[in-house]
A and B are shown apart, each in its own frame.
Chain A
Amino acid sequence: MAAISWANLLVGLCLAPLLPGVIARTKALFAGRRGQPLAQLYLDLWKLLRKGAVYSSVTTWVFRAGPVVGLAAAVAALLLLPLGGAPAVVAFDGDLILLVALLGALRFFLVTAALDTGSAFEGMGASREMGFSALAEPVLLVALAAMARGTGETSLSGMFGATIPGEWATQPHAMLLIVSALFVVLLAENSRIPVDDPNTHLELTMIHEVMVLDHGGPDLAFILYAAALKFWLLGALLVGIVVPLREIPPALAAATAVAGMALLAFAVGVVESCMARLRMSRVPQLLVGAGGLATVALMLELVRS
């Protein structure tokens, strides 16, 4: 069992940078372009890792710590993540809170590094990132709490284990609500389109991009890789609920989960192609709506008992 967990971890580490490529190709498909290669992010990472880093003289160790600690937090969170019904490498009661905390640590160090540059732009991006995350994080926690209540387990590996098909049979509405809330969280936390447009380079509209303007070389590679891992993390939670296949061999289950991730990236690409970015003042409305969905799901699970 441990072998399949480590294999799943390796799959996550290797395939996470593929998903942004899938999203970009989907958008290109919709726009009638050929698009960048699927492996573009791997090439970018390779290019950046070979470069040297330039540090502004006003920055301190906080600026250099940001990308490193961020990547470490993302990898640590990946250790807690079950994939395709197989348990995670590390699992204990209440590890869902640690997962959210690690995502919070990733964000905190990224934001402090952005603030450390002293640039007005980066401060603005940092403030927005924190503002929207403050709304998205409770949604994630409440959705996971609803899952925990429904399955009676408080570790992620237990929650996303064998009980998922039974949950779909008994509480389909609650599960649907959880899935939609998690999808909004996925879009918001990864700065995808209804919340932030990852393609823009207008300083007034971007959130995530603006925070990493002063990073270069290996630091930027770490940040991009950590962002891809974050997408993989939140996506795997969603796929773990949506693909309720548990009675098949672990290797096949992992393969279906990876296929599910590719489909999820495709879905995100479709959303990005069909929607415009929301006005900045409307984003909290979207997140509060997702919070409403998650809370209703939690209420449904509470009433069932």
Chain B
Amino acid sequence: MTSEGPTCAPGRVAGSRTEPPAGTAAFPATLRRVRDGARFCGLFALPAGRDGVRLVAVVSDHGELLVEQEAVAAGAVAAGAGAAGTNATGTGAAGTNATGTNATGTGAVGTGAVGTNQGRYASLTPAIPAAGWYERRIRDLFGIEPAGHPRLDPLVLPVPPGSHAPLGPGGDPTARITPDLAPLPSHVHGEGVFTVPYGPVRSGVFEAVEYLIETSGEDVSHVRTRIFYKHRGVESRFVGASVEDGALLAERVEGVASVAHAMAFCAAVEELGGVHVPLQSMLVRVVHAELERVANHLETMVRHTEAAGQAVAYAVLSHHKERVQRLRAQLCGSRFGRGVVVPGGVTGPLGLPPADVLRAVGAIQHAIDRDVDRLMDTPSFVDRLRGTGVLSRDEARRFAVVGPVGRASGQAEDVRTSRPYCAYGRLGLPVAERHEEGDALARQQVRIAEIAGAFHLVRQAVDELDELGHPASWRTTVPSVSGMAIGWAEAPQGELLSLVEAEGGRLTHVTQRSASFHNLAAYPSAFPKDVFTDVAFVEASFGLSIAGAAC
């Protein structure tokens, strides 16, 4: 039994490298790369020493993940970026978070913890809008100020005045924090314009999130999204865990994309351990990941049909989704593919013989195809999606939107082909049709094509598993790992990154950056000429998981 073939190949990052600073701006290389066409993938923060924070910027360029690091010390910016933090340190007037909607950076002050959490760096957001939400998140959780950020409202955790950010210097990740709602006024008054707060307890079974819909009655002028209701502090729960427990926790960061999260996390761990995953185990991972994609894409269609009042279509599509979930449970015992992907491999083979898997997949795909064709021939449904929630190509590019949402707006990248991981390099993924319209209909069409592609991959993987037979072991032992690495996967929502730092086999820091978080920043841009009743469609067509965004 051979275990050659492509490795799960995440990017490895040398533990202590920090790019030499140049000029006054933070992350000079990242700024340059993005200006030259690279795609911004994320900005991470890790505790460094007792009172420092390390920032890691990640961009994707021609199939390569490029990383740049900056150290920010508490109280002062580390060498190099110092000149950027020229703002007055502010009086930090405890109790008045100067995070007004028009804060242009100069007004950004500490969140009240004067004297300790004064770390600053020059914000990336003016040059890279996609970094905006990352910087807000890092400020909430680590207390590091991006100087020059255009709109520094609390995002995942409104830390009350006088408290330290939980993960930053001086913070205590075990001490309870009660969110401070003062800097988050829920009504905005203007001439003829009012704000409709929608959430966090919404009609129907939805995840908790609040949309503040600014409207003059019919047109939606702007939508603000508040995700802090669901912030659970998962990042802090990784600290000190074993890599095995880390995989279980990663699955629960974004429950509807459990397999993808476990794959990205395990890819990073396996990179650190220099582990080669048996080929059969990689194929099993692909089967579970692609069925997860099918289930998620069906879920967005179910929500579309529900919003459009297509009762029969809702019933048949939700039945198909149930069949997919049941098939997943037959293959591994969990309807969400949990506990399958473990560091070093998988826990076992598919729970059905290959021929049975192929038969079940064939039947489900046939049923889905017929009903989706019928749905797309239903004018009263298609008209609801056409022209709804247009995310223009330019906006999608500005926010570096990933996944099906990006692919419907001309952002073609799919990590499965651009940076092949796991067994995707040896499986043929059908070339996706290009879409640039950016409306809900285009997103639906992209997902329909992806469902077909996912079934195609499942079939190839199962065929290959049938030929290869069982490996000697489904799982390679992972040695005690140390260092930092980034793993990735193409979750149903889009590119997912997992930054893992470990020391002596124990996790010291993990960030699961979900596509939902990355894409949610572009969500307000998808309402250029939409009316109130479109909101449900735009939301459904983005297909985001709030749990993954807020984690």
**Same complex origin of A and B:** no
Interface residues of A (CB under 8 A from B): none
**Residue ranges of B at the interface with A (Cβ–Cβ < 8 Å):** none
